[in-house]
Amino acid sequence: MEIIGVLGLQGAVSEHVKQIKALGLEAVVIKKPEQLEQIDGLILPGGESTTMRKLIDRYDFFDPLKEFYKAGKVIFGTCAGMVLVAKELAGSEESHLGIIDISVKRNAFGRQIASFEVDLDITGLEDPFKAVFIRAPYIESAGQNVEVLAKYDGKIVAAREGNVLTCAFHPELTADTRFLQLFVEMVEEQKQKEGKVS
């Protein structure tokens, strides 16, 4: 059984834990870097990206998170988590983890529609997914190796590259576990690869 971690520094942690358990998997709230060794995949939840980055630095998570990625472990960034994993941030000189080849614009849908729900067509899901956007970012541009999974209003809102999955919305705020299942399938594939190597 896959063990899924949720970075527990700030943000929508309990909602992710609930959804992981709904799939019958074990969820671990990650509060210390050494806990990363116990898990098969990691979710960086929505929240406030600047605050999350400060806490990542304060609790010495930055290098361990990069190592987790370099080891081939799967990382899933939602909303603020998307900002953390992006290689570039529009209007900013500095990115955070820089592990997926995308440029992200923060709080990109503007104040008037700061929060909204929309039915999205997502690659890999047969039926539309009700996506909850809350002061969401979007992907302004994506590298050639990035697979675009969903767009809203012409803007990229879900993508993956290698062992990183990301979305601008909050899949954990719905009862629909299908987007989380995409992440779990990536984790399962990675575990199988590791099994073949060992």
Give the per-residue pLDDT at 111.
Answer: 63
Residue 17, pLDDT > 90, answer yes
Give the per-residue pLDDT at 198.
Answer: 42
Q: What is the CATH number of the domain that holds 174?
A: 3.40.50.880
Q: Which two tokens stand for residue 40?
A: 């098969």
Give the per-residue pLDDT at 135.
Answer: 87
Give the per-residue pLDDT at 43.
Answer: 98
DSSP result, 80-144: HHHHHHEEEETT-S--SS--EEEEEETTTTTTTTSEEEEEE--TT-SS-EEEEEES--EEEEE-T
Banded model confidence at residue 122, pLDDT cuts 50, 70, 90: very high
Mean pLDDT of the chain: 93
Q: Which of 2, 96, 167, 170 is flagged as catalytic?
A: 170
Residue 18, pLDDT > 80, answer yes
Residue 151, pLDDT > 70, answer yes
Long-range contacts of residues 119-123, Cβ cutoff 8 Å, at least 24 apart? 120/150, 120/152, 120/157, 120/158, 120/169, 121/150, 122/149, 122/150, 122/158, 122/179, 123/147, 123/148, 123/149, 123/150
Give the per-residue pLDDT at 110.
Answer: 67
Give the per-residue pLDDT at 196.
Answer: 57
Q: Quick: pLDDT tens for 41-88.
A: 999 998 888 899 999 999 999 999 999 999 999 999 999 999 999 999
Burial 72-96, CB ≥16 within 10 A → b, else e: ebbbbbbbbbbbbbbbbbeeeeebb
More confident residue, 18 or 106: 18
59-68, 109-118, 143-152, 156-165: which has the minimum mean pLDDT?
109-118
Q: Which of 15, 88, 161, 172 is flagged as catalytic?
A: 172
Q: Quick: pLDDT tens for 85-113.
A: 999 999 887 889 999 999 999 877 766 56
Q: Which range of residues forms the domain containing residue 112?
A: 3-197
Tell me the percentage of the chain whose pLDDT exceeds 90. 82
Tell me the percentage of the chain whose pLDDT exceeds 70. 96
79 catalytic residue (yes or no): yes
Q: Which of 79, 88, 96, 161 is flagged as catalytic?
A: 79
Work out how many domains the chain is built from and give that number: 1
Which pTM was predicted?
A: 0.94
